[in-house]
């Protein structure tokens, strides 16, 4: 399957099966086969890995990873494509295909998917979880963030193809237009690097924007510095809902009727911060310190 996945092959295959790529499910298929090797090499896929692949499509990447000995949990929401994935890995017992939505909700992964991952990890000692996928654009952010904050099943490494705009947001610096809540969350918990930028021409159908292969490597020491990850995640989401407001206004609104703006100004000054700052001006270390101080001031 991986050898044959050219645009002409996919067009012929889809025509025979009566399949039409669905834009609403972010179905764009890599037709530059060298890029599958780039992804697998960047993810260092091997026999000790349990790989979660969300959006397995025709199974080209699935079969490549399973052939390297990894235990692969391939998740595909489209029934027709799930069947293609299953055909691509037929005879490979280390690959499991789930016709399933990877998300139960915006802020929660599917329990069926998580149970399959747990089963793979429990099958042998010394196994490592990785997320390796050409992520459909419409689920990329919630899949990455929900796995990253998961207390039990945070992957050792994520190597994913995503929209270039999201890749820029994940690696954005403070005060830049792309900097936001997801930038702070990911950088507070992991090291982020862009492996390769991909033009629309390497996909069929062609998307209207560039894509990127990105590597996200969670760091235990960073997670320990954050402490309460759920509190940190909730706070930065709330703060960036009002990114253009001054920090004093945002914090006063979060604990309305419990302190005045004068109280907030005095409290922020004690933290070494100006109330006239906006959220987008704070770096990750400042957000980490702010979250810890607010947790002490207003225990959840």
- Specify which residues 162 forms β-bridges with: 212
pTM: 0.94
Mean pLDDT of the chain: 95
pLDDT tens, residue by residue, 80-111: 999 999 999 999 999 999 999 999 988 899 99
> What are the Cα distances from residue 202, in Å, to 45, 90, 135?
22, 27, 15
Proportion of the chain above pLDDT 70, given as a percent: 99
Select, from the ranges 29-33, 118-122, 296-300, the one with the highest average predicted confidence (pLDDT).
Answer: 118-122
- Specify which residues 133 forms β-bridges with: 160
DSSP 175-200: TSTT-SHHHHHHHHHEEEEEEEEE-G
Question: To which CATH superfamily is domain 227-297 assigned?
Answer: rRNA adenine dimethylase, C-terminal domain (1.10.8.100)
- CA separation for the pair 136, 138 (Å, rounded): 6
pLDDT tens, residue by residue, 242-275: 888 999 999 999 999 999 999 999 999 999 999 8
Residues 109 and 146: beta-carbon distance below 8 Å: yes
- CA separation for the pair 9, 195 (Å, rounded): 27
- CA separation for the pair 263, 281 (Å, rounded): 21
| pLDDT-derived band at 2, boundaries 50, 70, 90 | very low
Q: What is the pLDDT of residue 284?
A: 97
Q: Does 41 score more than 50 pLDDT?
A: yes
Q: What is the pLDDT of residue 25?
A: 84
DSSP 18-59: T----GGGT--EE--THHHHHHHHHTT--TTEEEEEE--TTS
Q: Does 1 score more than 60 pLDDT?
A: no
Q: Does 162 score more than 70 pLDDT?
A: yes
Q: Does 43 score more than 50 pLDDT?
A: yes
In this structure, the strands spanning 157-163 and 211-218 are antiparallel
Q: Looking at residues 71-76, what average pLDDT do you find?
A: 98
Q: What is the pLDDT of residue 29?
A: 94
> What are the Cα distances from residue 69, in Å, to 126, 128, 256?
14, 13, 55
- Specify which residues 278 forms β-bridges with: 246
Residues 36 and 98: beta-carbon distance below 8 Å: no
pLDDT tens, residue by residue, 171-222: 999 999 999 999 999 999 999 999 999 999 999 999 999 999 999 999 999 9
Look up the CATH number of domain 7-221. Answer: 3.40.50.150
Residues 139 and 108: beta-carbon distance below 8 Å: no
> What are the Cα distances from residue 11, in Å, to 14, 211, 284?
5, 22, 46
- CA separation for the pair 86, 83 (Å, rounded): 5
Domain boundaries, the chain: 7-221, 227-297
Q: What is the pLDDT of residue 50?
A: 98
| pLDDT-derived band at 4, boundaries 50, 70, 90 | low
Burial 72-107 (b: 16+ CB within 10 A, else e): bbbbbbbeebbbbbbebbeebebbbbbbbbbbeeee
Q: What is the pLDDT of residue 51?
A: 98
Q: Looking at residues 58-62, what average pLDDT do you find?
A: 95
pLDDT tens, residue by residue, 6-22: 899 999 999 999 999 98
């Amino acid at each position: 399957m991986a050898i044959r996945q050219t645009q002409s092959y996919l067009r012929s295959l889809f025509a025979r099966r009566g399949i039409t790529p669905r834009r609403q499910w972010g179905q764009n298929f890599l037709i530059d086969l060298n890029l599958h090797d780039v992804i697998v090499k960047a993810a260092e896929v091997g026999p000790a890995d349990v790989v979660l692949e969300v959006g397995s499509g025709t199974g080209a990447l699935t079969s490549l990873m399973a052939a390297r000995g990894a235990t692969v949990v391939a998740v595909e929401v489209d029934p027709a494509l799930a069947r293609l994935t299953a055909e691509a890995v037929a005879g490979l017992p280390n690959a499991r295909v789930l016709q399933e939505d990877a998300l139960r909700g915006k802020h929660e992964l599917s329990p069926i998917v998580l149970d399959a991952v747990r089963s793979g990890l429990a099958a042998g000692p010394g196994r490592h979880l990785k997320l390796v996928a050409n992520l459909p654009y419409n689920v990329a952010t919630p899949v990455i963030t929900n796995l990253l904050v998961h207390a039990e099943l945070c992957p050792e490494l994520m190597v994913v193809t995503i929209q270039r705009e999201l890749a820029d947001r994940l690696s954005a610096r403070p005060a830049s237009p792309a900097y936001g809540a997801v930038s702070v969350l990911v950088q507070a918990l992991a090291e982020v690097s862009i492996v390769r930028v991909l033009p629309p021409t390497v996909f069929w159908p062609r998307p209207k924007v560039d894509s990127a292969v990105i590597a996200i490597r969670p760091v235990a020491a960073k997670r320990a510095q954050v402490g309460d990850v759920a509190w940190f995640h909730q706070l930065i989401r709330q703060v960036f809902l009002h990114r253009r407001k001054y920090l004093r206004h945002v914090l006063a609104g979060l604990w309305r009727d419990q302190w005045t703006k004068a109280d907030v100004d005095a409290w922020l000054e004690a933290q070494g911060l100006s109330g006239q700052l906006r959220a987008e001006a704070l770096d990750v270390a400042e957000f980490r310190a702010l979250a810890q101080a607010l947790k002490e001031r207003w225990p959840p």
